[in-house]
Copies of this chain bind each other. A is one copy, B any other.
Amino acid sequence: MQLNRLVAFHKTMGDPTRIRIVYLLSKGPLHGQAIAGKLGLTPPTITHHLHKLRDINLVYTRREKNTVYYYLNEKIILHQAVTLEKIISQKEELEEMEQDYAYRKKVLDAFIQTDGKLKSIPAQRKKKLIIFEHMVKGLKKGVKYEEKEINEYIKNFHDDFATIRREFITNQYMYRENGIYEVNPPEMWAKIE
C-alpha cells in the first residue's frame, strides 16, 4: 500500500461536507444543484468538493441533457476504508514509512563531512537530489540573491559552484531572472523517486 493514497483518502473524508455528500450519494445519484440545495451550500462549493472526491476516484459522473449526475464509486470506499485496519493488524505493508527518512539520512551521512562540506557530488540522480535539497534548505525563501552570493554559498559545500548552481536551476530548486536568484517553493523541486 502506498502512503500517499491512504493519506489522500482520509484527508478527503476528513471534512463534514464531503461525508455528507458521500452519504447522500450512497442513497442514489444526484446532480450538483440538488446536492447544493440539500446541504445549503452554493454550487461552486459543491464543485470544489466533487473535484476532491473525484481525485480519489470516489465519484464519477454521467451527463443527461444539461445536467451532470454524480455517482458514488462504492468499491473504492469498501476497499480503502479497511486498509488502515489491515495495516495495523500487519496484514499489509506500508511503503515509505521509516524508509524515507532513514534513506535520506544514509545518503546525507555518506556524502557530507562533519564540517558540512560535500565529499563529492553523487552521480546517482536520486542521491544527488537529496544532497541538493539539503543544500537549498540553507537559503532563505523569498530572498533575492546575487549570483555572486549564490556562488559563495555553494562554495561552503563544494568548489564546483558553477555546476551546482546550474543544477539548482535545471532541477527547479531556484529560479533565475536577470542574474537574480530566488528559492522556489518545495512543490516545484525535482521529484525524488
Residues of A within 8 A of B (CB): 3-4, 6-16, 19-20, 22-24, 26-27, 38-40, 72, 74, 77-78, 81-85, 87-90, 94, 97-98, 101-102, 104-105
Are A89 and B94 also in contact (CB < 8 A) when A14-B14, A15-B7, A105-B40 are?
no
Given contact pairs A10-B19, A14-B14, A82-B82, enumerate 20 new A-B contacts (beta carbons under 8 Å): A3-B19, A6-B19, A7-B13, A7-B16, A7-B19, A10-B13, A10-B14, A11-B14, A12-B14, A22-B84, A23-B88, A23-B94, A72-B88, A74-B88, A77-B84, A78-B89, A81-B81, A81-B83, A81-B85, A82-B85
How many monomers of this chain does the complex have? 2
Hey, which chain B residues are within 8 Å of A9, CB to CB?
14
Partner of A88, one of B26, B82, B97: B26
Contact between chains at A38 and B101 (CB < 8 Å):
yes
Hey, which chain B residues are within 8 Å of A13, CB to CB?
6-7, 10, 14, 84
Instruction: Give, as a whole number of angstroms, the nearest-CB distance from A140 to chain B.
Output: 20
Instruction: Give, as a whole number of angstroms, the nearest-CB distance from A112 to chain B.
Output: 15
